[in-house]
């Protein structure tokens, strides 16, 4: 029980969790606005605008900075982890999403040709990575969330 009490009193953890939660809600609302469809998976799924990964790690970095300063080992670790996560979101994960779109288009072509070897279950998830803009917006959101949380 002490573990959970500690987490609920940990401003750094709460800032990062709040950054993720707000990003996921915004991502869902933005998807709803553009597609006119509510997709519950957007509340927990990856990919999309803004990047919840970036919001989470940038809130973590900002809260760590506000708690311990830039000379602390905790800030250094948080910053390096944030850089790796955001780089991965733009790089490998984004490319994976682009490849999934291409492969899903190939599946559609086979379906249109009357081939039924590939079913809807074989379609790949396309919302995986982020554009640089989505990562930037997630990062800004995370910084603002942590800064606001520390003002409370």
User: Which whole number is the average pLDDT over 6-24?
Assistant: 96
Q: How confident is the model at residue 119 (pLDDT cuts 50, 70, 90)?
A: low
The model's pLDDT over 125-147, given as tens digits with 9 standing for 90+, comes to 656 667 889 899 999 999 999 99
The model's pLDDT over 31-81, given as tens digits with 9 standing for 90+, comes to 899 888 888 888 888 778 899 999 999 999 999 999 999 999 999 999 999
- The answer to whether the beta carbons of residues 132 and 50 sit under 8 Å apart is no
Which of 60, 36, 81, 58 shows the shortest CA–CA distance to 135? 58
Which of 17, 19, 40, 39 shows the shortest CA–CA distance to 139? 19
Tokens of 38: 């509510």
User: Which whole number is the average pLDDT over 113-122?
Assistant: 61
14 backbone φψ class: left, alpha, beta (φ>0; ψ -120 to 50): alpha
């Amino acid at each position: 029980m002490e573990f959970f009490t500690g987490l609920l009193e940990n401003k750094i953890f709460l800032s990062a969790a709040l950054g993720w939660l707000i990003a996921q809600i915004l991502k869902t609302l933005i998807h709803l606005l553009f597609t006119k469809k509510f997709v519950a998976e957007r509340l927990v799924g990856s990919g999309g605008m803004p990047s919840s990964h970036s919001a989470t790690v940038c809130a973590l970095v900002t809260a760590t900075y506000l708690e311990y300063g830039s000379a602390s080992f905790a800030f250094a670790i948080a910053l390096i982890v944030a850089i790796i996560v955001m780089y991965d979101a733009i790089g490998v994960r984004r490319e994976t999403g682009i490849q999934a779109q291409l492969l899903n288009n190939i599946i559609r072509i086979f379906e249109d040709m009357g081939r039924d070897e590939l079913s809807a279950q074989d379609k790949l998830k396309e919302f995986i990575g982020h554009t640089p803009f989505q990562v930037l917006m997630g990062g800004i959101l995370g910084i603002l969330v942590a800064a606001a949380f520390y003002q409370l």
